[in-house]
Homo-oligomer: A and B are copies of this chain.
Amino acid sequence: MSGNSFGKSFVVTTFGESHGPAIGGIVDGCPPGIAIEPEFIQRDLDRRAPGKSRHTTQRREPDRIQLLSGVFDGLTTGTPIGLLIQNEDQRSHDYQTLADRFRPGHADYTYTMKYGRRDPRGGGRSSARETAIRVAAGAIAKLVLTHTHGIRIRGYLSQLGPLKPQSHDWNEVECNPFFCGDAALVPKLEQFMDQLRKSGDSIGAEVTVIAEYVPPGLGEPVFDRLDADIAHALMSINAVKGIEIGAGFAAIKQKGSEHRDEMTPTGFLTNNAGGILGGISTGQNIIARIALKPTSSLRLPGRTVDVHGQATEVITTGRHDPCVGIRATPIAEAMLALVLADHLLRQRGQNADVIPPLAALPGGTVTN
């Protein structure tokens, strides 16, 4: 009940704090016979890893993933996959002064109210460190999706503070530390971040994730709609404050004649639905966007209270990401992959005998 598992058929459970000896997790429900390439998992971990550029936290974590079980001769066996990453860079002394006061905008206060106590070292379970295991599990989910149905999942930074890409080239996304698809924006992003870092402040961001080649029919009609589970998954990422599918909040001002995606024998004409109708995939690209808040760990002093309820101030001096959105792309991809792998297995279980009555329509134009 304390909510450290995600999924019903393809289930990941995680444990670990940023300043303990290790973090880890278990993937339960992975089908047998899936080829697991450890370097594929490691690549996604490296994409998420901090310390790769001056724009992310300088905490250095090699994040070497160990697969402890569930794989034999390079293929999954159908039994649970144990995941482990040793913590190597644990400078917990950075945090000692924070133990007696609450950082505004941080989980210090709520953890204390919930548990009556908390692990003050590095935020404990609220640290973004926990997402490393999600990325590893999500990489396994990606392998399942690719090897069984050719589904591809990828994402990019679609806004950072006031800066928005004016173009999108997938080839650019992995060529800069921002996951930005507009090469022309990259120097502006660097300049913006340099200035921000100097000021001791932080900034919000938006990330877009897309799943391509998804078969129609994934998702359940009522509570476990595909979009509802995606919303759950993405909102569970640290710092996310909003989530949109397809047209999202723009749908408020749309008329039905504009919003509905008309269908022709050669495919949908638009994709305002973001690939999901009635909670079930249409076969079009699934498109989701998340809004990430600016991190609350600032070098600028903030008003707060201490554990005795007395007014005080707080400054965060540790190593932190001035924009958590920068590293969020692989995490959002992982969560989307986990949802799709889960629903793929659920659909196989309940409707394995279903033969689609007509060829699935080709997906429509991607509308970001």
Please give me the residue from chain B that is nearest to A308 by CB atom: B358
- How many copies of this chain does one complex carry? 4
Whether B241 and A246, one on each chain, are in contact in the complex, defined by CB atoms closer than 8 angstroms, is yes
The proximity string for A residues 24-66 relative to B, scoring 1 for CB distances below 8 Å and 0 otherwise, is 1110110111000000000000000000000000000000001
What residues of chain B lie closer than 8 Å to A32, measured between beta carbons?
A: 115-117, 350-351, 354
Nearest CB of B to A75, in Å: 7
Tell me, in angstroms, the Cα distance from A90 to B282 when the chains sit together.
28
Q: Which residue of B lies closest to A206 (CB)?
A: B252
B227 pairs with A235, CB closer than 8 A: yes
Encoded as 1 (CB less than 8 Å from any B CB) or 0, chain A from 272 to 309 comes to 11101111111100000001111111101011110111
A 145-162 to B, binary, CB cutoff 8 A, 1 in contact else 0: 000100000000001011
- Given the interface pairs A110-B278, A113-B216, A305-B263, the reply to whether A126 lies near B1 with Cβ below 8 Å is no
A16 → chain B, closest Cβ, in Å? 5
Chain B residues, Cβ within 8 Å of A22: 68-69, 82, 84
B17 touches A69 (CB 8 A): yes
Q: A8-B1, A80-B4 are in contact. Are A354 and B116 (CB under 8 A)?
A: yes
B residues less than 8 Å from A256 (CB atoms)? 105, 201-203, 294-298, 300
B249 and A249 form a contact (CB under 8 A): yes
Chain B residues with Cβ below 8 Å from A251 are: 204, 241-242, 291-294
